[in-house]
Amino acid sequence: MAEPVYRRVVIKLSGEYLAGAQSFGIDQPTLDRIAGELISAQKLGAEIAVVVGGGNIVRGVEVSSRGVSRPTGDTMGMLATVMNCLALEAAIERRGAAARTLSAFVMPQVCELYTRAATHKYLAEGRIVLLGGGTGNPFFTTDTTAVLRAAEIGAQAVLKATNVDGVYSADPKKDPSAKRFDRLTHSEAIAGGYKVMDTTAFALARETSLPIIVFSIAEPDAMSAILLGKGHGTIVAG
C-alpha cells in the first residue's frame, strides 16, 4: 500500500465550508462526507489532528461590529469551533472510527482540556483528534491555531482544507483573473498579503519551518491525495 508523505499532520478545516450551500450552521451531508474522508486519510497510516474553524457560526470581528466587545466576540467564535468539533466527532464515531475532542478552554462537562500529552496519547491510540477553542486567546484565528498546534505536537505539515484550490495572486472569488501558485515560500506568502490565511499563521509556520498545503476540500478524497503527495494544492514552504 502507498505510504503517506507525512506521518503526523494538522488539518485546518474551514468552518465556512461546513455550512454547505447554506450561509450558516452545519450541513449534515457535508459533515458526513468530510468525516468519511478523514477516516480514509487516517487509514493510509497518518496520525491526524484537526483544527476546525468557526466561520459557519460566529466570527469575532463580525459580532463585534454589532456592539459586542472584540474579546467577547472572539470568545464566542472560539466556542463555535468547539461546537463544530463535537459535531465532527459524532460524525466520525457514527462511522465506527474513534475521535476525541480537546478544547483550549476548561469545560469538563463537555470535553477534555487540550494538552500536548493528551494529544500524543489519543493520536497513538489511533483516534482522530479534534482541537477546539482555537488558541484560547482573542485576536487570533484558527489558521494560526493550526500552525501553533502543529508546531507543538511535532506535526510535519499543516493541510488547509478550504473552499479554493490553492493560493492565488488575489481572492479568486472576487477576481477571476487571479493566478494560482503551485508553490510559494512563507516569505513570499507574507509579502504578497494573500488573504487565504492570516499573516500570523504564515509567520509562525516560517519560524517553525512547517510546510502549509492549501487545497480544496470540495475535491473528492483530496485529503488522502495530499497525504500521498498526489494532491492539487499550493505548497507554502521555506
Ligand X SMILES: Nc1ncnc2c1ncn2[C@@H]1O[C@H](COP(=O)(O)OP(=O)(O)OP(=O)(O)O)[C@@H](O)[C@H]1O
Question: Between the CA atoms of 215, 218, 219 and 221, what dihedral angle is there, to the nearest 10 degrees?
Answer: 90
Q: Sketch the per residue contact string, 27 through 56, with ligand X: x for CB under 6 A, - otherwise.
A: --------------------------xxx-
Query: Widest CA span of the chain, in angstroms?
Result: 55
Cβ-count burial 128-148 (b if 16+ within 10 Å, e if not): bbbbbbbbeebebbbbbbbbb
Q: Check if the beta carbon of residue 231 is closer than 8 Å to that of residue 19.
A: no
Shortest Å, Cβ 98 to ligand LLZGTKA7: 25
Strands 233-236 and 212-216: antiparallel
φ, ψ of residue 71 to 5 degrees: the values are -60, -35
Q: How many residues bind ligand X (CB under 6 A)?
A: 20
- Per CB under 6 A, the segment of 48-56, 111-119, 153-161, 223-231 that binds ligand LLZGTKA7 is 48-56
Q: Is 181 annotated as a binding residue?
A: no
The beta-strand segments (E) located in 15-163 are 47-52, 99-103, 112-113, 128-132, 157-162
221 carries a ligand binding annotation: no
Find out whether 162 is annotated in a ligand binding site. Answer: yes
Q: Which is closer to ligand X, CB of 95 or CB of 179?
A: 179
Identity at 107, one-letter amino acid code: M
Q: Rounded to the nearest whole angstrom, what is the least distance from the CB of residue 16 to ligand X in the complex?
A: 3
Q: Is 67 annotated as belonging to a binding site?
A: no
CB of 32 to ligand LLZGTKA7, least distance (A): 21
Fill in the amino acid letter for 72.
T
CA distances from 110 to 39, 87, 100, 130, 136 (A): 23, 12, 11, 13, 16
Binding mask 130-169 for ligand X (x = CB under 6 A): ------------xx------------------xxx--xx-
Nearest distance from C-beta of residue 169 to ligand LLZGTKA7, angstroms? 23
Annotated binding-site positions for ATP: 12-15, 55, 59, 162-163, 168, 171
Which parts of this chain interact with ligand LLZGTKA7 (CB under 6 A)?
15, 53-55, 59-60, 73-74, 77-78, 81, 134-135, 137-138, 140-143, 145
